Every structure is written in C-alpha cells, then in structure tokens.
Amino acid sequence: MKNLKNPTFIVFIFATSLIACKKDLKSITPISKTRGKTQDALNYSFNWETATSMPVNPSSPTSVSLPWQSQSGTPIDAYLVSDYKSSDGWKLVYNTFNTTVYPTASQQPAGGLYFALYNVYRGLLRFYLYIPPSYINNNVDIEHGLSLYTNNSTTSKMLNFEGGDIVDVTANTSVFTKTNNSGVSYGGGWYAMQYQIAYDPNFAATTYPNLGFTWNSRTVSISQINLNGTSTGGITGNITQKSSGFNWAGALINAGLSAVEIYGTAGFATGTNIAGAASGGLAGNITGFLDAIFGGSSGNTQEVDLKMNSTITMNGTLTASQPLVPNSLVVPGQTVGNSVGAPPPLYTSPLGVFNFPNKPTVHITSTKTTAPSSWDGPANAYYVNTFTLDPAFVTSIQKNTAVTGSATVTVQNAQVLLENLDASSSFYNYSAATETIGNIAVIDNTTIDGRKLTPTTETALVRVTVLVTPSNGTTPPIRIVKTFLGTLVTP
C-alpha cells in the first residue's frame, strides 16, 4: 500500500502581466471621506467599464489606458482579460487615479497609482498597480502581498484562504507574500495582483486603525524558477508563500516552496496534472485538487483559479530592490475612527463569500470481524474502519449576507479525504480512489479494512464544494472548492 507524505510549504502561480496604453480622458466623481487629523488621498469613483482611459490631470503629457486595453507587451491572461464586468459581481473598492494626478515617476502620489476591483460572488480582491515609465531601473519582478494591520491583539480569518491549499481554521493567516515571474520593464505598465478573501463575520465590528489590511509590494529580481525539478522560467505567474512577516531578505533566495496557482489551463503544458485538474473542474469533476474557483464570468471563457502544492525553488536577488506601495487600507465593512482621517473604500459591504467557524469533525467507527482465510495474517485481526463527517460542520457554514442578498450559497458536496495513511501492512484494503495532488496523496472518503485505526496516525481532510448561484440570470454559477483540516475522533 502507499506511504503518503505531507507537504511542507505552499506556493502559487498566476499569469497576469499588463501594459498601459494611451486613451481619452473620462470624468470622475469624488467620494467624500471621514476627516480627521491627517489628510489621506481620497478614493475616486469612475466607470471602469465604459472609460477609455484612466482619469489623470488634463495637462498631463501622458495618458494611461485601462489594463485590459493591452496593445503592446505582455497581454493579460486570456482567462482574465474580459473578466471585469459589474454584472458578474465586480465592484470598485479603491482608486487613486483622479484629475489632479500626473502618472509620471516623479509626480505620482506617495501611495502609488492603482485601483482595485472586488468580486462579490467569488471573494476575489484584484489590484491593478500602475508603474510609470522610468520608475523602475531595470526589468524586475514584484513581490507583493497582504498582511493584517493591527495595533492590538485583534485578529481575523480573512486571509486564511490564501495560506495554501489546505485551510486550518484554528490558525489564522496574518501575512502572505507573492512573487510574479512576469517582470515589469523600464517602460512601465500595469501589474495585476489577486487575492482570495475569506468571510469573517466578526470583522464588521472592528474599527480602523485597530485592524485593517496592509498591502505591500517591492521590486525583486528572479533569475530562475523550477517546478518539480523542471525549469519554468518562461511561465509568467505568482509564487506565493505564508510568511511570519515581510522579511524580504529571507523570502526569495533559494526559497524551498511548494504550490502553484494557475488561471485557466494555458499556464502549463496540456496533459500535466495541473492543467488536467483545471479542465476537469470546469466540467464539474472535483478531483485532483484541493483548492479552486470555477466559473462566474459571462464572457466566452470561464475563469479558473486553481491552487496545487508542488515543489518550487526560486533563485534571485534583492539587489537594488525598492518598495512600491506599502499602504494601510480601510477594509470594506468596518468603521473608521474619527481621529484617523483614513479614506473609506468605495465598496462598503463585508468581504468574502463564506467560512466555517470550526474544524470539521470526522468520526472513526471500527468494527471487528473475522479475517478471511485467504489473508496472510492472524485470525480475527480484521477491522472495518469507516469515516463519517459530522453533519454539524456543513450546517455551521457562515454565509456573507452581502452575497446571499443577490445569490444563493449552498454546500454542494463535502468529501472526507485521508492523508498520511500508514498502509504498510498487508492487511489493508480500500476500494476508494487514491488522488495524487501535487506532492501529496489522499484516499477518498472511504472504508478501510485492516488494523483498528486511531486518530493519532492519519490526517483527515474535508474537501467542500460551495455553489454560488447569482440571481441575475446572466452570471454563470460559481463553484468554490476549499479543503479544511479536520479532527479525527473515535466514538
């Protein structure tokens, strides 16, 4: 039988590199802010769907096209290029472009030029960062991520869905970093960054600056990426890892990491397990992966956001690196302290689609029976071990009311998986399939024959498929697949 191994770290790859072009100016509408001791930059509203260029000062010598109007350089990934429609759930959250800014290296605002969209049905927060020409000295990559900003012991589960492809609800993720392997050139351009946000029902009761997000980014230089021993330097994408903090010096050099994230199936060669899992997931086959989002775009292509653990190493340097946008952000759904003067976001409802308050409980029931005479072993040493998910886990799902007002959110499936099964004994037998997912293997929800199993050796995982069905009649349903670390118990 198979001896299953445990992965160590998690990493992700996504393909999103954007280039700016020149277009006509459009008017914008300023949003009022809470004023206090400081005067921070306002977030400005504009119609990103109809605008032909970003709002900048009319006297600016340079205009800035929208990211999806790619006309030179590397285009946006095909699975993202048309995925920004408000009818599909995208909302404008932050925007520092306005008719007073100059999009130049010497005159851009201190916090940088960017805007961010959020998808209410998928829980995805996507930043578009504009880097002016000549702001970067050489062709470089950008390391970026989110961290919880707090001045007390307040914490949140909102970043837990970005820690890897297995979620431990008892261990909150406070910070993660990503590195994109599609560099930004000396000529400037757009850089897209996307993060999955978990719903935290307690976040609405928080106040900024007691708690918020810090969005960090910094230039780095990557010379080579290896995926499972094969050089993948030609693949654009993000490398992601959990981190104890933004320790830039230790986060990159020869980092031993372990997961990839792709959009669509184009990022890897046809026939690879990653591409196959993405294609199968689009067809409704939830196997071969632990974490993914499928569907939700009314365009001709459906978005796929799939994470899979893999052995990844990076070689690079932080020589001449420079910080870009270390911004502390007010998060939608929370209030702002009057003395702070921080600008509120343009979208004000809580983020995330769903979450679970506790680990799933998986019950082991072992029934002793007589071993078949054909077995090569002692008599009466045969147990039938069954694994059952406590139904209280499924019913405990926490749904964001900002989503359920315009969509139905249901648990479509909850499947028990076993990892680290010690199957070295010849007395083991199981009929369920074994899935090899990146560097780990799991046994599907099942009955196992052999010795009496205890909760001390095996690891229980529960793969949950949540179906989000928008009620507008135009946006396709979304399947969000998350896998949670469970607790094994005996009666």
pLDDT confidence bin for 27, thresholds 50/70/90: very low
Q: Tally the residues of the chain.
A: 491
- The pLDDT, as a whole number, for residue 454 is 73
Q: Which of the 8 DSSP states describes residue 402?
A: H
- The pLDDT score that the predictor gives to residue 210 is 87
The top-scoring range by mean pLDDT among 105-114, 335-344, 379-388, 420-429 is 105-114
What are φ and ψ of residue 279, in 5° steps?
-65, -45
| pTM of this structure | 0.81
Residues 32, 333 contacting (CB under 8 angstroms): no
Q: What is the spatial distance between Cα 1 and Cα 331, in angstroms, rounded to a whole number?
A: 49
Rounded distance between C-alpha atoms, residue 92 and residue 115, angstroms:
8
Instruction: Report d(CA 192, CA 240) in Å as an integer.
Output: 14
Pick the range with the lowest mean pLDDT from 126-135, 419-428, 446-455, 458-467.
419-428
Sign of the alpha-carbon torsion through 31, 90, 398, 473: positive
What residues does each domain of the chain span?
Answer: 17-354, 355-489
Residue 305, strand partner residues: 263, 293
pLDDT score recorded for residue 225: 46
Longest alpha-carbon distance in the chain = 90
Q: Mind listing the pLDDT tens digit for each residue in 171-193? A: 998 888 776 655 666 777 888 88
467 or 110, greater pLDDT? 467
Return the C-alpha torsion angle 257, 462, 412, 84, nearest 10: -20
Phi then psi for residue 203, to 5 deg, are -70, -30
Question: 109-132 pLDDT, tens per residue?
Answer: 878 899 999 999 999 999 998 888
What does pLDDT average to over the chain?
A: 73
Are residues 248 and 183 in contact, defined by beta-carbon separation less than 8 angstroms?
A: no
Tell me which residue has tokens 């400037």.
Answer: 188
pLDDT of residue 7: 33
117-to-34, 45, 78, 295, 373 alpha-carbon distances in Å: 22, 11, 18, 17, 64
The DSSP secondary-structure symbol of 3 reads: B
| CA dihedral over 250, 253, 258, 260, signed as positive or negative | positive
Neighbours of 391 (CB within 10 A): 10
Q: d(Cα 193, Cα 157) in Å, to the nearest integer?
A: 20
pLDDT score for 350: 97
Would you say 262 and 344 are in contact if contact means Cβ atoms under 8 Å apart? Answer: no
